[in-house]
Chains A and B, each alone.
Chain A
Amino acid sequence: MKKQRIHILVLFLFTALFSVASADEIELNYRLKWLFNTSVAGDIYADAKGYFKEAGLKVHVKEGSPEKNAINELELGHADFGVASADQVIRALDKGAKIMVLAQLFQVNPMQWISRADQPQIKTLDDLKGRNIGITFGGNDETVMNTLFAKAGITSKDVKITGVRFDFTPFFKREVDVWPVYFNSQGVILKDKLEKEGEKVYFFNPADFGVNFVANSVVTSEKVWKNRPEVVKKFMGALLKGWEAAMDPANEADVLMEVKKQDKESNDELRRLQLIATRELIKPSAAVKIGTMDVEAWKQTEAIMLNEKQIKKPVRVETVLKH
């Protein structure tokens, strides 16, 4: 009986000790921009490998969607950190939101266009003329494509524009020649499907034609940035460590296993190809440090949005880039 009591006491003390340790952890909410897939491998890996925990953080990594906007959640206090695209950041600044950009995750924008190789490759912007081009009206791709058109002096008479959604049927049925995709997710899936049918594809990357529209970045509110600098430091340290590890080819199998736990939709081979494609966008070369801010690209993104009348006034986005 006495021995049993000692066991219970030890168990109680252990539980209490563990609870104290847990209570010491700082609890944070991190809202992603999109669903769990290989595009967010670094976020998943930082959590799964305990990098947040090592930094004394308990981070709830939450999936995003078009309806779940990280910047809204930062303002409402539902999230402490989040992932937002550059256009979201610039729009929010234009409307008075107080946010800070902590790291630019994608060094190359995954927003590209895919076309079949049995049609001429788009080597110059003039090659867009006469093509049926898919555009998501209201999306980033519309802004980017309009900028490319303006750059090349292409008018609406020169091209046919078709509004598109997530359903690729019009591209498969050849109703649309050039289709907007996220290079590292949909791009991989479409390429794989068409290659299985014996068809080759080309990707058209606006950055190759001088249009550098920044994609996803890690953001926080001005309030968190000013009032909790230690938390910001710990969070960013752990997150970028997770991304560095996730993008290291040596960890590929481990990363894929962790992504698979969250994303059961894709098959193993597709996930592997998506991870390789993501690596090219996040860390285009060994010299590039993950999270690096391409300030010129940010300025260009703002200029494009101003030119496209998506914002009313200059917001001087470079002033909120804090990495």
Chain B
Amino acid sequence: MLFRRIYQFLIVYSIGLISLLLIKAGLSLSDYVIPGFGLILETLGQVFDTYFLDVMNTMSVTVLGQCVSIAMAFGVGIAGRRSSWMGSFIKVTAYNIQAYPIVALAPIIFILLGDGFISRLLIASMICYFPLLLSVLGIMATPVEDIEHFYIITGRMRWQLEVKIRAFENLSKLTTVISGSATLAMAGTIVAEFIAANAGIGYSIRVALYQSDLAKILIALFLIGIIISIYQGCLETLGEQIKNRWSVSKGGNPR
């Protein structure tokens, strides 16, 4: 899973890079508009160490932001799973909050909380949280009738058990959503850094943009892509392992 993620990314990145180089050659553009392969390699040598640390910095916020958004999505999803007035109210509130574009809210967050770690974390969580919430709400609001029926008629159903049944019965979906949300958390962190932070790869991209240095931006994109692919691959592998253990504990065959 992990290696597939990595080589898939390398294929996509290579296609993108080759397309750019073809455009450069076709339109006879200078290195200022689209850098040549030699310049990209040269820039890689110059900025690799710094950018790698920047990506890891961004990644640390991403992972934490994703954890926060998973917790938020499960909290709201579990609270809003019922078709009661309160459940509906929580859902509507969650949807309305998301209606504000984060890039518009980000400057306010930075003014109030400064350009440090907390602002980046909050923005990353906010961008990552909503797609997760939609999936969690969908899963949590759909009964697994053949299992739940038994617990209901025997009077042993509790909300914790209901959540557990629905989560584990939809583990495959949840793993996919959580793994996919890693990209959103990364994008959220980069957006935050791009807008106002003074650290991370988003900030470095902004500096490179000031200098119209596309070579640096391409290297930043490469490092972001490779690191996020590794992270997603790890999440998917972890999800597979959990599924297999769950399957074994239920008496099924591990896949």
B30→A88 contact, CB < 8 A: no
Closest to A165 in B: B196
Task: Identify which of B2-10, B153-161, B162-170, B204-212 touches chain A.
Answer: B204-212
Q: How far is the CB of A85 from chain B (nearest CB, A)?
A: 10
**Given A91-B32, A167-B107, A167-B196 in contact, is the A69-B27 Cβ separation under 8 Å?**
no
B212→A75 contact, CB < 8 A: no
Interface presence of A86 (CB below 8 A): no
Inter-chain CA distance A204–B35, complex, in Å, is 37
CB contacts under 8 Å to A, within B112-160, are 115
Inter-chain CA distance A98–B198, complex, in Å, is 34
Q: How far is the CB of A297 from chain B (nearest CB, A)?
A: 20
Q: How far is the CB of B53 from chain A (nearest CB, A)?
A: 16
Interface presence of B29 (CB below 8 A): yes
Q: Which residue of A71, A96, A98, A165 is within 8 Å of B212 (Cβ)?
A: A71
A98→B30 contact, CB < 8 A: yes
Interface presence of B240 (CB below 8 A): no
Residues in A neighbouring B31, C-beta threshold 8 A: 95-96
**Given A75-B33, A96-B31, A138-B206 in contact, is the A169-B111 Cβ separation under 8 Å?**
yes
B207→A137 contact, CB < 8 A: yes
CB contacts under 8 Å to A, within B5-40, are 27, 29-33, 35, 39
Interface residue tally of chain A, by bracket? Answer: 20 to 34
Interface size on B, residues (CB 8 A): 21
CB contacts under 8 Å to A, within B197-226, are 198, 206-212
Residues in A neighbouring B52, C-beta threshold 8 A: none
B111→A67 contact, CB < 8 A: no
Q: Which residue of B29, B35, B107, B111 is within 8 Å of A76 (Cβ)?
A: B29
Inter-chain CA distance A136–B198, complex, in Å, is 10
Interface presence of B246 (CB below 8 A): no
Inter-chain CA distance A169–B108, complex, in Å, is 11
Inter-chain CA distance A32–B131, complex, in Å, is 39
Closest to B215 in A: A95
Q: Which residue of A67, A75, A94 is within 8 Å of B29 (Cβ)?
A: A75
Inter-chain CA distance A169–B39, complex, in Å, is 39
Inter-chain CA distance A69–B208, complex, in Å, is 13
A138→B32 contact, CB < 8 A: no
**Given A88-B212, A163-B198 in contact, is the A76-B33 Cβ separation under 8 Å?**
yes
Closest to B107 in A: A167
B32→A97 contact, CB < 8 A: yes
Interface presence of A139 (CB below 8 A): yes
Closest to A136 in B: B210
Interface presence of A307 (CB below 8 A): no
Q: How far is the CB of A136 from chain B (nearest CB, A)?
A: 7
Interface presence of A66 (CB below 8 A): yes
**Given A138-B208, A138-B210 in contact, is the A71-B196 Cβ separation under 8 Å?**
no
A138→B198 contact, CB < 8 A: no
Question: A80-120, CB under 8 A of B: which get 1 and which 0?
Answer: 00000000100110111110000000000000000000000
Interface presence of A72 (CB below 8 A): yes
Inter-chain CA distance A72–B206, complex, in Å, is 17
A92→B32 contact, CB < 8 A: yes
Closest to A88 in B: B212
Residues in A neighbouring B208, C-beta threshold 8 A: 138
Inter-chain CA distance A98–B33, complex, in Å, is 11
Residues in B neighbouring A96, C-beta threshold 8 A: 30-32
Question: A6-23, CB under 8 A of B: which get 1 and which 0?
Answer: 000000000000000000
B33→A167 contact, CB < 8 A: no
Q: Which residue of A75, A76, A138 is within 8 Å of B211 (Cβ)?
A: A138
B35→A95 contact, CB < 8 A: yes
Residues in A neighbouring B212, C-beta threshold 8 A: 69, 71-72, 88, 91-92
Q: How far is the CB of A88 from chain B (nearest CB, A)?
A: 6
A72→B33 contact, CB < 8 A: yes
Inter-chain CA distance A97–B28, complex, in Å, is 10
Residues in B neighbouring A139, C-beta threshold 8 A: 210
Inter-chain CA distance A169–B119, complex, in Å, is 15
Closest to B27 in A: A76
Residues in A neighbouring B210, C-beta threshold 8 A: 66, 136, 138-139
Interface presence of A310 (CB below 8 A): yes
Q: How far is the CB of B109 from chain A (nearest CB, A)?
A: 11
**Given A69-B212, A88-B212 in contact, is the A95-B30 Cβ separation under 8 Å?**
yes
Residues in A neighbouring B35, C-beta threshold 8 A: 95
Q: How far is the CB of B155 from chain A (nearest CB, A)?
A: 58
Inter-chain CA distance A96–B38, complex, in Å, is 14
Q: How far is the CB of B74 from chain A (nearest CB, A)?
A: 34
8 pairs of residues in contact across A and B, judged by CB atoms under 8 Å? A72-B33, A91-B211, A92-B32, A95-B32, A95-B39, A96-B30, A138-B209, A139-B210
Closest 4 CB pairs of A and B: A138-B207, A95-B31, A95-B32, A138-B210
